[in-house]
Amino acid sequence: MSMDHAAARDEVLPRRVLLEGCTNLRDLGGYRAADGRRVRFGQVFRAAALHALTEADLVVLGRLGLRTVCDLRGEKERARAPSRLPEGGPEVVPLPIEPTVGAALRDILARAEATGEDVVGLLGQAYQAYATSKLPQYRALFGLLLQPERRPLVFHCSAGKDRTGFGAALLLTALGVPRETILEDYLATNRFWDGHAALPPGTPPAVSEALKRAHAPLLEAALATALRGHADTDAFLEAALGLDAPRRAALRDSLLE
């Protein structure tokens, strides 16, 4: 085994890309799949919004050689905080997953007795939408990932937590990464993201904390919903995401080593 492979094997995952204006950009490489191969580094990244990048960040981002940025934010989110990317850099492909909880969240925040449980319940509704009505956007993401000329590719939303987290879980599932590892990757947001979401002054601490965190039960419930009614995971991948057996093999051969 080469020293490089030995170092990669011992590396603490996920591998974070340190930026000043985005705290939750990371490489999805390094995870071991069920067939013994590992996800290749430098091919697929997940991130929070990229609107606040500094000049130094643009240099770091440029070194990644990104060809495609998949923006999962809704149209108004993108308009309020357009991405800042290197000159002549990657193509931005909008795959909008409109936030479905905004009005209800405002109602909750307006209540003095609002609780963290209220927010988690609301987030749970959003996750169920990711697993059902929003699957076409994720199918489009996989269509891009299957094109070698589109990679390296990064996909992101606002926090890199919920819409991005579900997308990363789908990708790692398709690559044969065990569920335990998928949940570890999802929860890494709680270590990395600085939670700078713009919340109204006076937001109850429990509500703020619930909004800022990744919640494993929400992801597990959403994955269960997505898989429901399918004979197995491969049947889901084919029916919902367009990944028939040849495409699954092509995806794994291109992203695993």
Name the residue among 37, 46, 31, 35 with its Cα closest to residue 181. 31
Q: What tens digit of pLDDT does each residue of 110-130 get?
A: 777 788 898 899 899 999 999
Q: Which long-range contacts (CB under 8 A, 24 or more apart) does 105-110 make?
A: 108/207, 109/199, 109/200, 109/203, 109/207
Query: Does residue 81 carry a pLDDT above 50?
Result: yes
Residue 1 DSSP class: -
Model pLDDT, residue 83:
96
Cβ-based neighbours of 13, under 8 Å, separated by 6 or more: 30, 31, 184, 185
- Tell me how crowded residue 230 is: count the other CB atoms within 10 A of its CB: 14
Predicted confidence band of residue 1 (pLDDT cuts 50, 70, 90): very low
Model pLDDT, residue 3:
46
- State which residues form the domain around 55: 13-255
Cβ-based neighbours of 115, under 8 Å, separated by 6 or more: 204, 206, 207
- The count of structural domains within the chain is 1
Query: Does residue 239 carry a pLDDT above 80?
Result: yes
Structure tokens at 257: 């080593």
Q: How much is the CA Rg of the chain, to the nearest whole Å?
A: 18
pTM here is: 0.93
Is 5 within the bounds of a domain?
no
Is 1 within the bounds of a domain?
no
d(CA 71, CA 81): 12
Predicted confidence band of residue 5 (pLDDT cuts 50, 70, 90): low
The half-sphere exposure of 231 on its side-chain side, counting CA atoms within 13 A, is 4
Predicted confidence band of residue 57 (pLDDT cuts 50, 70, 90): very high
Answer with the residue of higher pLDDT: 153 or 5: 153
Model pLDDT, residue 2:
46
Q: CATH number of the domain that 56 lies in?
A: 3.90.190.10
Q: What tens digit of pLDDT does each residue of 199-231 get?
A: 677 778 888 888 889 999 999 999 999 999 999
Structure tokens at 121: 């319940």
3-state class (DSSP) for residue 172: helix
- Beta strands 68-71 and 91-94 are parallel
